[in-house]
Amino acid sequence: MSKCKSFNEVIYFCDGKKCCRYNEEAKSCLKELLKETGLNQSVSLEKMKCQGMCKSAPVFYIDSEKKYKKEVTKKKAQKLFDKYIVA
């Protein structure tokens, strides 16, 4: 029987049509930061269905903060990581 991983934090990224076009750089940045810091064992990066915020693509959601982050670039992903994940 396989064990289900338990994560302390989940960061969701919109997987809608428009967000998909723009979220790869921010997603890659977050994945790399999680791996470098060893937090990939306690923080999960998951996709979510379209949130209807296409004008603000790409959209990310920090579950523990109950906050949407809009127009997330690589630079904003780094700030998001420092403010909500590492802190």
| Residue 24 domain flag | yes
Residue 80 domain-assigned (yes or no):
yes
Q: Is residue 4 part of a domain?
A: no
Sheet containing strand 9-14, edge to edge, reads: 43-48, 9-14, 60-62, 67-69
Give the range of the structural domain holding residue 24, as residue numbers without chain letter. Answer: 9-86
Quick check: is 28 in a domain? yes
State how many domains the chain has.
1
Question: Does 45 map to a domain?
Answer: yes
Does residue 22 lie within any of the structural domains?
Answer: yes
CA–CA distance, 77 with 71 (Å, rounded to integer)? 10
CATH code of the domain covering residue 19: 3.40.30.10
The pTM (predicted TM-score) of the whole model is 0.87
pLDDT digits (tens, 9 = 90+) for 6-38: 568 999 999 999 999 999 999 999 999 999 999
pLDDT at 47: 95
Q: Domain for residue 1, yes or no?
A: no
